[in-house]
Amino acid sequence: MDQQKQRIRDQAHHKVRKEFPGVAGSAGSNAPGIVVLTGAGISRESGLATFRDPDGLWAKVRVEEVATPQAFARDPARVQAFYDARRVQLRDPTIQPNAAHLALAHLAREHPGPVLVVTQNVDDLHERAGQPSLLHMHGELAKVRCLRCDEVSPFEGADLADALCPVCGARALRPHVVWFGEMPLHMDRIEQWLEANCDLFVAIGTSGQIHPATGFAETARAHGARTLELTLEATELTRNFDEARHGPATEVVPAWVDELLGAWVVHLSLIPIEEPEE
Ligand SMILES: [Zn+2]
Over the stretch 60-108, which tens digit does the pLDDT of each residue have? 777 778 899 999 999 999 999 999 999 998 999 999 999 999 999 999 9
Q: For residues 71 and 152, is the Cβ–Cβ distance under 8 A?
A: no
Smallest CA-to-CA distance from 143 within 151, 135, 152 is with 152
Q: What is the pLDDT of residues 187-245, one digit of tens each?
A: 999 999 999 889 999 999 987 666 777 789 999 999 999 999 999 999 888 888 999 99
Between the CA of 175 and the centroid of ligand 1 the distance, in Å, is 13
Q: For residues 131 and 108, is the Cβ–Cβ distance under 8 A?
A: yes
Between the CA of 171 and the centroid of ligand 1 the distance, in Å, is 8
Residue 176 annotated in active site:
no
Between the CA of 61 and the centroid of ligand 1 the distance, in Å, is 29
Between the CA of 159 and the centroid of ligand 1 the distance, in Å, is 17
Q: Rounded CA gap, 141 and 162, in Å? A: 17
Q: Rounded CA gap, 10 and 4, in Å? A: 10
Judge if the upstream peptide bond of residue 272 is cis by omega within 30 degrees of 0.
no
Q: Rounded CA gap, 136 and 152, in Å? A: 13
Between the CA of 31 and the centroid of ligand 1 the distance, in Å, is 43
Q: Which residues pair with 145 in a beta bridge?
A: 152, 174
Confidence grade of residue 55 (pLDDT, cut at 50, 70, 90): low
pLDDT at 190: 95
**In a 10 Å sphere around its CB, with 0-12 CB exposed, 13-18 middle and 19+ buried, how is residue 38 labelled?**
buried
User: What is the per-residue DSSP string for 192-255?
Assistant: HHHHHS-SEEEEES--S-STTTHHHHHHHHHTT-EEEEEESS--TTGGGSSEEEES-HHHHHHH
Residue from 111, 126, 136, 138 carrying the catalytic annotation: 138
CA within 13 Å, CB half, 136: 17
Q: For residues 264 and 31, is the Cβ–Cβ distance under 8 A?
A: yes
On whether the 1-48+97-137+185-271 domain is CATH 3.90.550.10, my answer is no
Q: What is the residue-averaged pLDDT of the chain?
A: 87
Q: What are phi and psi for residue 201, nearest 5 degrees?
A: -110, 130
Between the CA of 160 and the centroid of ligand 1 the distance, in Å, is 13
Neighbours of ion ligand 1 (CB under 5 A): 146, 148-149, 165, 167-168, 170
Which class would CATH give 50-94+139-177?
A: alpha beta
Q: What is the pLDDT of residues 173-186, one digit of tens each?
A: 999 999 999 999 99
Q: What is the pLDDT of residues 97-137, one digit of tens each?
A: 999 999 999 999 999 888 999 999 999 999 999 999 999 99
Q: Rounded CA gap, 21 and 30, in Å? A: 19
pLDDT at 238: 87
> Residue ranges per domain, the chain?
1-48+97-137+185-271, 50-94+139-177
Do 50-94+139-177 and 1-48+97-137+185-271 have the same topology in CATH? no
Chain-centroid distance, C-alpha 249:
14
pLDDT at 6: 66
Q: What are phi and psi for residue 276, nearest 5 degrees?
A: -65, 145
Smallest CA-to-CA distance from 220 within 118, 135, 137 is with 118
* pLDDT of 27 over the 50 cut: no
Confidence grade of residue 57 (pLDDT, cut at 50, 70, 90): low
